[in-house]
Homo-oligomer: A and B are copies of this chain.
């Protein structure tokens, strides 16, 4: 196509200091923009992990948008559903969500009629968290939708890769 960009590109690769005023934005015009980042951040697992995680969450959010449940909410509902009676501190520790953050999240879930904070008869400081009937029903829908999302993810990633990553990350313990 255009001949002009070639020098610029080779310049940037070799890190030679060509003059800005003479060869200004040619690089930008001719680059496959995605390739720019690929070159330079290629060894950085954190970078790829972040971009991957953002994609996964966006897909998850879309998948569960019809019931308006976000990833953090899903994890909280799931854990409460499987372990009714846990306290907020328990949830906080096992999911790595700040205690302070959980308060507002549970306020919201309570208001939506999905969860309840019952008194703990054993420690009057803490609450025993439960799902309401409606919360259980919604969680079942959520799990169905989440499974569809997971299938799409496995498809996009390749099911082998999906399995491999699960294996690696599951044993990665914070």
Interface size, A (range): 35 or more
Known: A24-B121, A52-B172. Is A83-B31 also a contact (CB below 8 A)?
yes
Find out whether the CB atom of A121 lies under 8 angstroms from the CB atom of B21.
yes
Nearest to A36 among chain B residues (CB) is: B94
Q: Which residues of B contact A46 (CB under 8 A)?
A: 53, 56-57, 60, 71, 149-150, 153
Q: How far is the CB of A148 from chain B (nearest CB, A)?
A: 12
A2 on interface, CB distance cutoff 8 Å: yes
CB of B84 within 8 A of CB of A36, answer: no
A23 contacts which chain B residues (CB < 8 A)? 85
A20-B168 contact given A1-B119, A83-B36, A85-B9, CB 8 Å threshold:
no
Interface residues of A in 1-31 (CB under 8 A from B): 1-2, 4-5, 8-9, 11-13, 15, 20-21, 23-28, 31
* A24-79 interface (Cβ within 8 A of B): 24-28, 31, 33-57, 60, 71, 75, 78-79
| Chain A residues at the B interface, C-beta cutoff of 8 Å | 1-2, 4-5, 8-9, 11-13, 15, 20-21, 23-28, 31, 33-57, 60, 71, 75, 78-79, 81-87, 90, 93-96, 116, 118-123, 126, 128, 130, 146, 149-150, 153, 156-157, 161-162, 164-166, 168-170, 172-174
Q: A36-B79, A46-B149 are in contact. List 4 more A-B contacts (CB 8 A).
A: A25-B126, A28-B87, A47-B71, A50-B57
